Structure formats: C-alpha cells, structure tokens
Amino acid sequence: MDYLKGLNPSQRQAVEQTEGPVMIVAGAGSGKTRVITYRVAHLIQKGIDPFNILVLTFTNKAAKEMRERIMKVVGSEAKNIWMGTFHSVFAKILRVEAEKIGYPNNFTIYDTDDSKSLLKAILKEMSLDDKLYNPNFVYGRISMAKNNLISAAEYLKNDQIQADDFSTGRGQLGQVYATYTARCFKAGAMDFDDLLFKTNVLLRDHPEVLHKYQHKFKYLMVDEYQDTNFSQYLIVKKLAAVNYNLCVVGDDAQSIYGFRGANIQNILNFQKDYPDVKVFKLEQNYRSTQNIVNVANSIIKNNENQLEKNVFSDNDEGDKVRITRSYSDNEEGKSVAESIIQERSTKSLDWNEFAVLYRTNAQSRSMEEGLRKLGVPYKIHGGMSFYQRKEIKDLIAYFRLTFNNNDEEAFKRVINYPARGIGKTTIDRMIVAADQYGKSLFEIALNAPQFLDNRAATAVGNFATMIQSFAAVAKTSTAYDAALHIAQHSTLLKDLYDDKSVEGLARYENIQELLNGIKEFSEREDIEDRNLSVFMEDVALLTNDDNEKAEDKDTVSLMTIHSSKGLEFNQVYVVGLEENLFPSQMSLNSRADLEEERRLFYVAVTRAENKLHLSYATSRFKFGTLVNCEPSRFLDEIDPKYLEIDLPKKSAFVSNEKSSFDNERTLWKSTTGGESKTNDVFSKPKPASAQKVKTTALLSKAHVPSPDFKPEDTSSLQVGQQVEHERFGFGKVLNLEGNKPDIKATIFFKDIGQKQLLLKFAKLRIVR
C-alpha cells in the first residue's frame, strides 16, 4: 500500500473508492494518469481478477504508459487487464463474435485510404460528379452517421437528413452510404467507425453476448470521458449496467473534439445518468505556476456549460503572462523566434522546452520562417512541415515546371492533377519514349502526336501548352500575380475549393496561406527583384531541412493546439490570438461552438509549466489581401493583474512625439497597476483607485491610411520630416544614406519602431 502515500487527499479518495459509479473531475496538471493507474493497481491488490477489469483510453500511448505504471506496482498481472483504445478493445471482441452479425472472424479493417478508394469507385459506377460528391466529404458524412448510430437504412428513411441532402444537390448520399455498406459487407471488411457501430449492433441484437461481457467486465474505467461520442457512450452504459462499477475520468474544460462527434454532455450529465455517483475533484495543478493557473481560471469561468471546480497551484507565483503585439503574421513569427532565443539564453533552457501553438495548420508558415531565419531548430508535431504538405508541394511543382520544363519529378506530379484524363498507361508510354529518344518528358509532351494516340495526345499537348503559357505570364508579372494565375488556371485552386470537407477546407486554407506569403514577398521593399523565380529560390532553401530525420534532436515543438493536448512544456507561445482566427469565425454562430473554442484556449494555456506567451498580429494576409485584425475577445477575459503587455519601445523620437505614447502609458498603468518588466519608458503607476480598462484597449489595430493618402515623390526628402506609410503609419525620418536613385531612409514609425526603406520603393506621403 506504499503507492497510496504519495497521493494527496482527493487523489487517494478517488483511488480507494472502487465500488459503484465514480466520476473523477481531473483539472489540468492534476495527476490524472497517476490516479487511474493507482486505482487499477488498487483493485488488483484488493483481489480483483485483472481479466475482469476493462480500461478504455483514446490513444495507444496512454494505454501503454498506464500498463507500464501498473506493472511497477502489481507485476506481470497487469498484462491480463483489458486495456486499450475503444477501437482496439472492441476489434478484439468482434474477432470473437463477428460471425453472429454475418462477418468472418478474420474480417479486414479498412483504413481511411481504403474507404475513400472504395467510395471513389462507387461514385464512378453511379456516374456521380466527384466534385459535388467529393470522396472526403462523403466519407466524413458516413462517419458522422455511424458515430451517431444511424445505419444506411435509417439514413434513407430519415426525412430531415434526406431533405438536407437534396437541398445541397446531394440527394444520392443515402444510396452511396447503402452501397458502400453492402460492398464492405460483401468484402468481409469493416472500416474504423464500424468497430464501434458493429459493436453496438452486436450488443443490441444478441442479448447473450451483452450478458457475457457485462459479467466479464466487472469494473470499467474510461479515460478522457469528455471526448466520448454517442456510440462510445452507449457501449459503456450497456456494459456497466449489471455491476454498476463504472469510473469515468475527465475534464469538461478540456473537451475540444466536438468536430469529431465528441459530446460534452456525456460528462456534464453523468450525475443524472448515475444519481448515486461519488464525485471526486482533482483541483491541485502540479504543472504550472500560480499565475498561469490563475489566467486559465479567469478564461474558463466565462463558460456557462461546465462542472464547477476551483483549480489551484501551490507552485511559485511565476512570471506574469506576456502579451505581444506584432504588425503582421511574419513579424509575429520573427518576434517569437527572437523571444525563444532570449529566454533560452537567459534561463539556460534546451530547445525542446519550448512549444509554439496555433489554431490552424496554415499558421505554421510564418512561425517556421521566423525560426529558420534565426537558426532555431524546430519540429512540426501532429502534422508535417508547411512546405511538405501535399497541396503545397503540388502547387510548388507547377512553379518548378514553369521555370524548368525539364524537371521530371514536377512533371510527373502534376500532369494529371487536377485530373485531366491522362492515365498511368499514357505516362508510362511517355517515360519509355523519353528514354528511347533521349528527350525530357516535357519535350515528349510538346510532340505528343508522334508518341500517343489522338485522345491522349490532345490531353498531353494541352497540358504542355498550358505550362508554356505560365512561363510567359511569369516573365512579366509579380511573384504573386504569377502564382495566383498558375493556381487558378491549373484548376488546382478550384479543385481544393470544391472540396467542402474539413480536410478539404484545411488544404484550401494552406494554399491561400502560401499565396499570402508570396503576396508579402511581392511587396517587400528591401529587394529589387521580386519575381516568382526568386521566391522559388527562397523556398528551395527553406525546405532543405537537414534535421528532418533526427527525431530525437533538441528542437522547438510547433503544433496545433488540438495536437498539444496531454503534453506540457517549460515555455509555451500561443500565437494568432485574433478575432475570426481564435476564436475561429466558424465558432461565432452559437454559444456551444464559442465555448468549445474557449476550452481550446484553456488547453493551450495549461500546457505551460513556467512561462506563457500570448501574441497576435494587427494585420494578416487573407486571400491575397492585407486585412486589419482585432485582438481576440479571449484576451479581454484574462484578469489584467496577471498580465505583462509588451508595447513598442520608445526610441529616438523627439519630444513633440512624446504624446503618441501617453495614451498607451496611461492605459497600461491603469490596467496592470505596475511597472513593465521589459519597457522602462512608462512613468509611475496610477493610484489603485484608477478605473480599469479592458486589456484590448492596449491592443490597437493596424494603421488605417489617411483619407487623402497618396504616395509622393520623395527624392528631396529631408532628415526630420514627418511621413506616412500605407501600412506602417506615421513616422519621422531619422537618417538618409546613399545616392539617387538608391537612397535608403531610416524612419521611426511610432507604432512599430524603426524601419529602413529604399525610397524608390517606399510609397510614402510627406506630412510636413
């Protein structure tokens, strides 16, 4: 019983309560895994047969870690526990019982690619437009139906579902679902969702099987219960209905998978399902400093739909949470990189003690570029490098082929993507001809009638002509105009836009993010040659990642917030805290969606152990256009006394510009009631009685040009003159160097600091 001595009172009570329904509400960093493993070990120590214990998790990693910990307490008996993910455990049961529902015991499990390949074949056989009936969308629709236990037959009979499908022009979705189900059954195959769906069918239609497993699993434990969907909920409820020994562990404040079908009501209503439940709250956070815990609490208290708890920490108070404002997403990336370098140096930390978290995968681009340029090693987790994503590589392959027609790998990658009726047989013939005549594939394409039949020759010839037209456009266009032309006229952009699935939307956003980066490159004022070929050289350097295979290298972690769940880092940077990005625009339609976004922010905040950095940009490129951004409403919800707001530092600005900082200084003092640790230009704090203002009063928007703004001839510009820049705002000329027409001006802009610009590209308005 020595293992119980290391538990706090709440943890120990939860471990020792082995009988009846139990709900353990485990706050972030509260030792949840320890409680689960010790509770299972305690059951075995009390004499419960491990074969009668079922523990369900959401990841194989979690199950492996728990089993190893249990073995340290009870030895090899831990191997006999039924422990694993929902899908692995019920696949094991189905292997035994499958014949009762008409499947062979050696049924095949289709992965996502298998399922989508079958769906593509069915759509082709039914002569359905694969743009309207995109396989990704269809797969997602069927998956959601199965997770809600709606069979194909019920799908076809449901008037509301049918009405929804017909209203979008997809009236045949039900028939596709039915055909897909029949084909899987005929092939003796189940897809990933079937492992739960068919388990429910098995337990519903075969009472003797339900009876068998109800009496086998005398004790059930479910980890991350807040992430269960309806299908999982029903299985657990049925299996626990006899012995009633069900323990669920979770945190409603960390329920962030609603888009996958997870239903937070499962944990919120647990006490209604089991009125005699014993509830234990693990409220002590062992991970984070007091300031970080206080910030997290001030955020999540704004959710109405939650279980009451008071998370606290006995750790050191720690640094205040820092909010940083940047002009653009690229500057945000640079700022994060500079901060990581400084923090690592001053606190003697390793690179792997830092993490950068973002709302969407597309945001990794600016973060990657900022880190690369300053030589900070990093690794993308839960995804791949921005420039290694398929859709990005596809468009870049078009760029490569435009500038180098002999690039064989680029040619093979895009000749039939998007689909243009050029099949594998045709490509193989071209490869043979190229080898035989010593020509490139593109040269074969230009002379396609000599090597291919009429239909194939026409399609291949059209492709070659299109690539030649791209080259002509690129010679006379900016990098952005050329890139956009290629993305549009290759039909790649349309192909991704027409895919309305969650995955398709993410791919389309990634392409837009690439175009945004090229747009910024096109408008840079520090280089003269800004065509697409120069941008491609930059990309070639960016994607030359020598450390790609060094999985164990000391690197900064980059990941979406969803991917970060369950992890922890010494220092965490949460970036892109802007309205319509975080919270996302899609989440603003309902309170439930907004509350899930707030829970996602809570998860991000609670990944940090010792220091948390929050940042946002006041402008961001979206769909090729620079737009102003508002700071996220979530920043307003943080109690200002836990914050340190990093405003632009005062520089060599003469006294008549002093007032431009006065408002920020006053707001800062009335908000925080204390001195900034990084900015020494503020005067003494105002009295405590000063009226507080919202945090976002400090988080100003990007510069809006004056109504009469128009770039002027600056060839006679003088030191000391006031100027206005369309994006950077108002500034003072501090220095001029060089000779016409290559004069460089050093200008201090009051909102973003000092910049050096080539006057012939600067587009300035002279104020006085």
Query: What backbone phi and psi angles, to 5 degrees, belong to 572?
Result: -125, 135
Provide mean pLDDT across the span 351-356: 95
What's the rounded Cα separation, in Å, for the pair 58 and 626?
Answer: 41
So what's the pLDDT on residue 763?
A: 83
At 556 the pLDDT is 94
Q: Of 42-46, 211-215, 364-368, which has the strongest mean pLDDT?
A: 211-215
pLDDT digits (tens, 9 = 90+) for 472-503: 999 888 899 999 999 999 999 999 988 877 77
The CA-based angle 473-475-480, given to 5 degrees, is 65
> Does residue 658 surpass a pLDDT of 50?
no
Task: Report pLDDT for 385.
Answer: 67
Q: Which of 97, 191, 224, 646 is catalytic?
A: 224
Beta bridge partner(s), residue 25: 250, 281
Segment among 51-60, 315-324, 652-661 with least mean pLDDT: 652-661
The answer to whether the beta carbons of residues 402 and 467 sit under 8 Å apart is yes
Q: Quick check: is 545 catalytic?
A: no
Q: Would you state the structure tokens that stand for residue 627, as one six-digit string?
A: 């737009």
For the chain, the C-alpha Rg in angstroms (whole number) is 30
Among the options 97, 191, 223, 646, which is catalytic?
A: 223
> Residues 714-717: contacts with CB within 8 Å, 24+ apart?
714/745, 714/759, 714/762, 714/764, 714/766, 715/740, 715/741, 715/743, 715/759, 717/743, 717/745, 717/759, 717/764, 717/766
Active-site annotation holder among 226, 254, 324, 360: 254
Determine the Cα–Cα distance for residues 663 and 697; give it in Å rounded to an integer. Answer: 10
29 is an annotated ligand-binding site residue: yes
Q: Say how far apart CA 78 and CA 697 lie, in whole Å.
A: 56
User: Which residue from 57, 62, 54, 45 is spatially nearest to 4, judged by alpha carbons?
Assistant: 45
Judge whether 27 is annotated as a binding position.
yes
The single residue of 281, 320, 372, 607 carrying the catalytic annotation is 607
Query: Mean pLDDT: which of 429-438, 459-468, 677-686 is highest?
Result: 459-468
The answer to whether the CB of 596 falls within 8 A of the CB of 392 is no
CA distance 649 to 750: 9
Q: Strand 753-758 relative to strand 744-749: parallel, antiparallel, unpaired?
A: antiparallel
pTM for the complete prediction?
0.70
Catalytic annotation present for 347:
no
- Is 566 annotated as ligand-binding? no
Q: Could you give the percent of the chain with pLDDT greater than 90?
A: 45
254 labelled catalytic: yes
Query: Which residues are CB-contacts of 27 (< 8 A; sequence separation ≥ 6)?
Result: 251, 253, 281, 282, 283, 284, 285, 309, 311
Within 10 A of 85 (CB to CB), how many other CB atoms are there?
Answer: 18
pLDDT at 257: 86
Average pLDDT, the chain: 84
Which residues lie below 8 Å from residue 580, measured CB to CB, with a gap of 6+?
A: 588, 629
pLDDT of residue 435: 77
End-to-end CA distance of the chain: 81
Any binding-site annotation on 26?
yes
The yes-or-no answer on residue 224 being catalytic is yes
Catalytic one among 13, 17, 33, 108? 33
For 299-340, the pLDDT digits (tens) are 999 998 888 888 999 999 999 999 999 888 889 999 999 999
| Catalytic site includes residue 499 | no
Tokens 């195959």 locate to 189
Tell me the DSSP string of 248-275: EEE-GGG---GGGT--THHHHTHHHH-T
Neighbours of 405 (CB within 10 A): 20
- Which pLDDT score is estimated for 19? 93
Tell which residue, 563, 569, 566, 634, has the closest CA to residue 596: 634
pLDDT tens per residue across span 192-210: 899 999 999 999 999 999 9
Is 174 assigned to a binding site? no
pLDDT of res. 308: 87
Helices 32-45 and 9-16 pack at an angle, to 10 degrees, of 40
Single-letter code of the amino acid located at 678: T
pLDDT tens, residue by residue, 27-37: 999 998 899 99
> What is the Cα–Cα distance from 609 to 293, expressed in whole angstroms?
10
CA distances from 391 to 311, 492, 560, 675 (A): 43, 9, 18, 47
Higher pLDDT, residue 486 or 434: 486
| SS3 at position 19 | coil
Is residue 247 within a helix (H) or strand (E), and if so which, with residue range? strand 246-250
- 256 phi and psi, to 5 degrees? -130, 15
Pick from 661, 693, 697, 696: nearest CA to 679:
661
Residue 311: CA count within 13 A, CB half-sphere: 30
Instruction: Tell me what pLDDT residue 200 has.
Output: 94
Instruction: Please say whether the beta carbons of 340 and 354 come within 8 A.
Output: yes
What are the tens digits of pLDDT across the range 217-239? 999 999 999 999 999 999 999 99
Which percentage of the chain shows pLDDT scores above 70? Answer: 88
32 is catalytic: yes
- Residues 594-612 have pLDDT tens digits of 999 999 999 999 999 999 9
Query: In the sheet that 82-85 helps form, which strands lie side by side, from edge to edge?
Result: 82-85, 53-57, 219-222, 246-250, 22-26, 278-282
- The SS3 call for residue 162 is helix
Beta strands of 64-188 (E only): which ranges? 82-85, 108-110
Instruction: Find the catalytic residue in 32, 141, 218, 765.
Output: 32
Give the pLDDT of residue 632.
Answer: 92
Residue-level length of the chain: 768
More confident residue, 505 or 296: 296
Angle (CA) 696-698-702 rounded to 5° is: 90
